[in-house]
Structure 1
Amino acid sequence: MKPLKIKIAGLQFLQFLAWGSWLISVGAYCLHTKQWSASEFGSIFATIGIAALFMPTLAGIVADKWINAERLYAILQLGCAASMVMVPQMETPQQLFWLMLVNMLCYIPTISLAFSVSFSVMTQAGMNIVKEYPPLRVFGTLGFASGMWLTSLSGLETSPLQFYISAASSLAVAVLAMSMPQCRPSGSTAGSVAQQFLSFGKLFADKRFGAFFIFSGLLGVSMQLSNAYAGTFLHDFSSNPLYSDSIMIRFPAVIVSIGQMSEMFFVLLVPYFLTRYSVKTVMLISMLAWVARWLLLGFGNPGELWWMIILSMLVWGVAFDFFNLAGSLFLETNVDNGMKATAQGLLQVMIIGVGGTLGGFASGWMIDAFFTHDGIRDWRSIMIAFAAFNLLVAFSFMLFFKGSVSAKSPSGPSDIKGAS
Structure 2
Amino acid sequence: MNTSVKIRLSVMMFLEFFIWGAWFVTLGTYLLKNLHTTGTEVGVAFLTQSIGAIVAPFIIGLIADKFFSAQKILGVLHIAGAILMWMCSTAPDFKAFYPYVLIYMIIYMPTLALVNSISFRQMTNPSKEFPPIRVLGTLGWIVAGFTIGWLGWEQHGTLDLTFKTAAAASLILGLFSFTLPATPPAKAGQTTSIGDILGLDAIGLLKNRSFLVFFLASVAICVPLAFYYNFTNPFLNEVGMQGAAGKQAFGQVSELLFMVAMPFFFVRLGVKKMLAFGMIAWVLRYIFFAYGNIDTNYWMLIAGIVMHGMCYDFFFVTGQIYTDNLAGERFKSAAQGFITLATYGVGMLIGFLISGPIVDSYKTGETHNWTQIWLIPAGIAAVVLVIFLLLFKDKTSMNTDPSLNLDEQKDMRLDV
TM tier, shorter chain?
0.7 to 0.9
- Partner Cα separation in structure 1 for residue 316 and residue 83 of structure 2: 29
Q: Does 1:145 align with 2:126?
A: no
- Partner Cα separation in structure 2 for residue 140 and residue 413 of structure 1: 23
Structure 1 residue 303, shift from structure 2 partner: 1.8
- Partner Cα separation in structure 2 for residue 413 and residue 271 of structure 1: 8
Structure 1 residue 215, shift from structure 2 partner: 3.0
| 1:364-416 Cα deviation digits (max 9, x unpaired) | 444556x6679874433443332232122223334237676999xxx988555
2:232 paired residue number: 230
| 1:32-56 Cα deviation digits (max 9, x unpaired) | 445566655554443223323x223
Mapping of 1:190-205 within 5 angstroms? 190-192=191-193, 194-196=194-196, 200-205=199-204
Structure 1 residue 17, shift from structure 2 partner: 0.4
Mapping of 1:402-417 within 5 angstroms? 414-416=410-412
Q: Does 1:380 align with 2:382?
A: no
**Partner residue of 2:244 out of 252, 266, 273:** 252
| Contact 2:202/2:331 (8 A) holds in 1 | no
Q: Does 1:284 align with 2:271?
A: no
Mapping of 1:94-173 within 5 angstroms? 94-118=95-119, 120-121=120-121, 124-128=123-127, 133-157=130-154, 158-173=158-173
User: What number of residue pairs does the alignment pair up?
Assistant: 400
Secondary structure of 1:22's aligned partner = helix
Mapping of 1:16-165 within 5 angstroms? 16-34=17-35, 42-52=43-53, 54-62=54-62, 63=64, 69-118=70-119, 120-121=120-121, 124-128=123-127, 133-157=130-154, 158-165=158-165
2:254 paired residue number: 262
Structure 1 stretches of 4+ with a deviation exceeding 6 A read: 336-339, 372-376
1:300 paired residue number: 292
Structure 1 residue 290, shift from structure 2 partner: 0.7
Structure 1 residue 261, shift from structure 2 partner: 2.3
1:362 paired residue number: 354
- Partner Cα separation in structure 2 for residue 64 and residue 267 of structure 1: 30
Secondary structure of 1:206's aligned partner = helix
Structure 1 residue 338, shift from structure 2 partner: 7.8
1:218 paired residue number: 220
Amino acid at match of 2:87: M
Structure 1 residue 186, shift from structure 2 partner: 5.5
1:160–1:56: structure 2 CA closer, same or farther, 3 Å change rule? Answer: same
| Contact 1:300/1:308 (8 A) holds in 2 | yes
Gaps of 5+ in 1: 239-247
1:201–1:82: structure 2 CA closer, same or farther, 3 Å change rule? Answer: same
1:65–1:333: structure 2 CA closer, same or farther, 3 Å change rule? Answer: farther
Structure 1 residue 220, shift from structure 2 partner: 2.0
1:206–1:340: structure 2 CA closer, same or farther, 3 Å change rule? Answer: closer
**Worse-superposed segment, 227-236 or 301-310:** 227-236
Amino acid at match of 2:144: G
> What's the % identity of the aligned pairs?
27
Structure 1 residue 108, shift from structure 2 partner: 1.6
| 1:127-155 Cα deviation digits (max 9, x unpaired) | 425xx644543322221121123234345
1:258–1:272: structure 2 CA closer, same or farther, 3 Å change rule? Answer: same
- Partner Cα separation in structure 2 for residue 107 and residue 144 of structure 1: 15
Amino acid at match of 1:163: F
- Partner Cα separation in structure 2 for residue 189 and residue 83 of structure 1: 33
| Contact 2:49/2:105 (8 A) holds in 1 | yes
Secondary structure of 1:214's aligned partner = helix
Structure 1 residue 221, shift from structure 2 partner: 1.7
| Contact 1:275/1:415 (8 A) holds in 2 | no
| Contact 1:85/1:164 (8 A) holds in 2 | yes
- Partner Cα separation in structure 2 for residue 293 and residue 146 of structure 1: 23
1:126–1:251: structure 2 CA closer, same or farther, 3 Å change rule? Answer: closer
**What is the TM-score with the length of structure 2 in the denominator?**
0.78
Structure 1 residue 2, shift from structure 2 partner: 6.6
| Contact 2:223/2:377 (8 A) holds in 1 | no
- Partner Cα separation in structure 2 for residue 355 and residue 14 of structure 1: 27
Structure 1 residue 82, shift from structure 2 partner: 3.2
1:206 paired residue number: 205
1:287–1:50: structure 2 CA closer, same or farther, 3 Å change rule? Answer: same
Structure 1 residue 358, shift from structure 2 partner: 1.1
| Contact 1:56/1:348 (8 A) holds in 2 | no
Pairwise CA RMSD of aligned residues? Answer: 3.9
| Contact 1:134/1:268 (8 A) holds in 2 | no
- Partner Cα separation in structure 1 for residue 238 and residue 356 of structure 2: 16
1:396 paired residue number: 387
Structure 1 residue 159, shift from structure 2 partner: 4.9
Structure 1 residue 99, shift from structure 2 partner: 1.5
2:402 paired residue number: none
| Contact 2:202/2:338 (8 A) holds in 1 | no
- Partner Cα separation in structure 1 for residue 75 and residue 336 of structure 2: 18
**What is the TM-score with the length of structure 1 in the denominator?**
0.78
Structure 1 residue 105, shift from structure 2 partner: 0.4
| Contact 2:82/2:168 (8 A) holds in 1 | yes
Amino acid at match of 1:287: M
